[in-house]
Amino acid sequence: MEDIKTDLLVIGAGSGGLSVAAGAVQMGASVVLLEGHEMGGDCLNWGCVPSKALIASGKAAYGQAHAAAYGVKDVTPAVDYAAAKDHVADVIAQIEPMDSQERFEGLGVQVIRAFGTFVSERVVEAGAHRITARRVVIATGSSPLVPPIPGLDNVPWLTNETLFDLKEKPEHLLIIGGGPIGIEMAQAHVRLGCQVTVIEGAKALGRDDPEIAAFVLDQLRDEGVEIAEDALAAEITGGRGDITVATKDGRSFSGTHLLMAVGRKANVDRLNLEAAGIAQTRTGIKVDDSLKTTNKRVYAIGDVAGGAQFTHVAGYHAGVIIRSALFGLPAKARTDHIPYATYTDPELAQIGPTEAEAREIYGDKLTVARFEITHNDRLIAERKAKGLIKAMVVKGRPVGVSIAGPQAGELINLWALVIANRLKMAAVAAMVSPYPTVGEVNKRVAGAYFSPQLFDNPKVKKVVGLVQRWLP
């Protein structure tokens, strides 16, 4: 077995691990990177990238079938499902070189294509290698959570890790799970000509503000997606091409294909964390505010750290620990400024608490400003003016923002900047947006916050009246 000594060992070549490895090696540290599966991890190969590519195919098909309002004749799109999957593969191939083994070896990282297992607090074995590191970063990500539903072992089923390999179009796709993954794939597939049923044990998009989520769920239902809520799967029967899901309340749903999209679980099974003195929680590895585990030489970032499971969170975590692991400086991870988006049509985006959560936290100190996206002129011109933006504000400072509507994922960027830098609503109100743009809705919700203070305030009216009498 080859013995290797290094400054930094990174376990996992997903978005977080790659960011750490690239930053550390370019700053002068010696870095070893372990990856037992695919370079790029879930995001590139089975998550963010392929799902958004398939969503784009669905959007193109939907546009052909709904063009009459623009003076263009509607046509029934001729969907080639296999070709849509080829499009997905091509998108992955275009991005893949940035995450490749060759690129990172070119940067000076020693890449070992094997899974890592701790044998002591500082030593990890991977294949024929024994690595001793000053610091270790666990960035192993997460995998689909598949609950032990009776009968599931007897039928073929898909997850996000196998769905994108499927070349035959599902006639009727059953999706267990009404979270972002399930809902995104439901809309993409119904637009590509599939019949789709979503089976959710609680409420679809239950993490989101119900008023905001309704815009998406209503749209999916209008497009033909059946969404069954409070439908906890109890048993699965049938076989290839004929699958039935029975729920605890007596309902049953039949289809040709089954997608499991009930959540994610942290990838920790291969690590032998006990040997390194690393504690776990129910959701992943236990970390403190600086992302250190109970072994202070070891960090955990991204999905495996048990918090929000988003690619951009893993990237943010990478920046936090670079400061600590390379420079020995204090660094803590925040969560209040982390946005997320669901890439349906319309999109959803959220940062900070929802309205209900904010009312529970702040009580009477909270002001909620609203702007209906139906009043945005650019979206009126594009016949997409449907949605809502809500800003939760405390003492003039936004603490949370919820958006439903076109480009919500882009609109939330401004609020991420504002909240990260603890700016006030006055900063957004002072911004000048070009007309007509979708981005005006951010300024308009700031205007909605200040309007009652200016236009419904008797003191302001009295002052203006006095000034007008004094002016020459």
Residues 272 and 221 in one domain: no
Is position 177 annotated in a ligand binding site? yes
Confidence band (pLDDT; 50, 70, 90) for 456?
Answer: low
Confidence check: pLDDT of 462 > 80: no
Q: What is the pLDDT of residues 384-431, one digit of tens each?
A: 999 999 999 999 999 999 999 999 999 999 999 999 999 999 999 999
End-to-end CA separation in angstroms for the chain: 92
Residues 269 and 251 in one domain: no
Is position 226 annotated in a ligand binding site? no
pLDDT at 451: 75
Is position 319 annotated in a ligand binding site? no
Confidence check: pLDDT of 202 > 60: yes
Which of 236, 263, 290 lies at the terminal end of a domain, its last residue?
Answer: 263
Confidence check: pLDDT of 470 > 80: no
Mean pLDDT of 272-291: 96
Residues 391 and 313 in one domain: no
For residue 348, being part of any structural domain is answered with yes
Confidence check: pLDDT of 453 > 90: no
Q: What is the pLDDT of residues 316-344, one digit of tens each?
A: 999 999 998 888 888 999 999 999 999 99
Is position 71 annotated in a ligand binding site? no
Query: Could you tell me what percent of the chain has a pLDDT over 70?
Result: 97
Q: What is the pLDDT of residues 5-25, one digit of tens each?
A: 999 999 999 999 999 999 999
For residue 44, being part of any structural domain is answered with no
Residues 256 and 193 in one domain: yes
Residues 255 and 272 in one domain: no
Count: domains in the chain: 3
Instruction: List, in sequence order, every beta strand (DSSP E) within 192-346.
Output: 195-199, 226-228, 233-239, 242-247, 252-255, 257-260, 264-266, 298-300, 339-342
Q: What is the pLDDT of residues 358-389, one digit of tens each?
A: 999 999 999 999 999 999 999 999 999 999 99
State the Cα angle at 164 between 137 and 20, rounded to 5°: 15
Alpha-carbon separation of residue 361 from 335, 389, 392, 416, 424 (angstroms): 16, 20, 11, 20, 19
Alpha-carbon separation of residue 459 from 241, 450, 452 (angstroms): 71, 15, 12
Count of all residues that appear for the chain in the document = 472
For residue 87, being part of any structural domain is answered with no
- One-letter amino acid for residue 70 of the chain: Y
pLDDT at 246: 98
Is position 400 annotated in a ligand binding site? no
Residue 83 CA, chain-centre distance (Å), reads 26
Is position 108 annotated in a ligand binding site? no
Mean pLDDT of 207-235: 98
Residues 128 and 162 in one domain: no
Which of 238, 263, 288 lies at the terminal end of a domain, its last residue?
Answer: 263
**Around Cβ 76, how many Cβ atoms within 10 Å?**
9
pLDDT at 325: 87
- One-letter amino acid for residue 333 of the chain: A
Q: What is the CATH number of the domain that holds 8?
A: 3.50.50.60
Confidence band (pLDDT; 50, 70, 90) for 266?
Answer: very high
Contacts of 413 (CB under 8 A, 6+ apart): 339
Residues 107 and 192 in one domain: no
Residues 133 and 156 in one domain: no
**Which pTM was predicted?**
0.94
Residues 254 and 283 in one domain: no
pLDDT at 472: 72
Instruction: List, in sequence order, every beta strand (DSSP E) within 297-383.
Output: 298-300, 339-342, 347-351, 366-372
Average per-residue pLDDT for the chain: 95
Residue 323 CA, chain-centre distance (Å), reads 25
pLDDT at 465: 67
Look at residues 169, 143, 179, 170 and name the one whose alpha carbon lies nearest to residue 258: 170
159 close to 259: Cβ distance less than 8 angstroms: yes
pLDDT at 455: 58
For residue 168, being part of any structural domain is answered with yes
For residue 88, being part of any structural domain is answered with no
Is position 141 annotated in a ligand binding site? yes
Confidence band (pLDDT; 50, 70, 90) for 464?
Answer: low
Q: What is the CATH number of the domain that holds 448?
A: 3.30.390.30
Is position 181 annotated in a ligand binding site? yes
Cα separation, 323 vs 326, whole angstroms? 6
Residues 270 and 355 in one domain: no
Is position 40 annotated in a ligand binding site? no
Residues 251 and 278 in one domain: no
Confidence check: pLDDT of 454 > 60: no
For residue 172, being part of any structural domain is answered with yes
Residues 397 and 254 in one domain: no
Contacts 24+ apart (CB under 8 A), 90-97: 91/49, 91/50, 91/53, 92/44, 92/45, 92/49, 92/50, 92/53, 95/40, 95/44, 95/49, 96/39, 96/40, 96/44
Q: Which domain holds residue 251?
A: 152-263
Confidence check: pLDDT of 123 > 60: yes
Cα separation, 425 vs 431, whole angstroms? 10
Cα separation, 67 vs 73, whole angstroms? 6
Is position 238 annotated in a ligand binding site? no
For residue 468, being part of any structural domain is answered with no
The pair of three-digit structure tokens given for residue 276, joined into one six-digit string: 């390194």
Mean pLDDT of 65-70: 97
- In which region does residue 423 sit, left (phi positive, over 0), alpha (psi from -120 to 50) or beta (all else)? beta
Is position 179 annotated in a ligand binding site? yes
Is position 235 annotated in a ligand binding site? no
Mean pLDDT of 460-467: 67
pLDDT at 63: 97
For residue 463, being part of any structural domain is answered with no
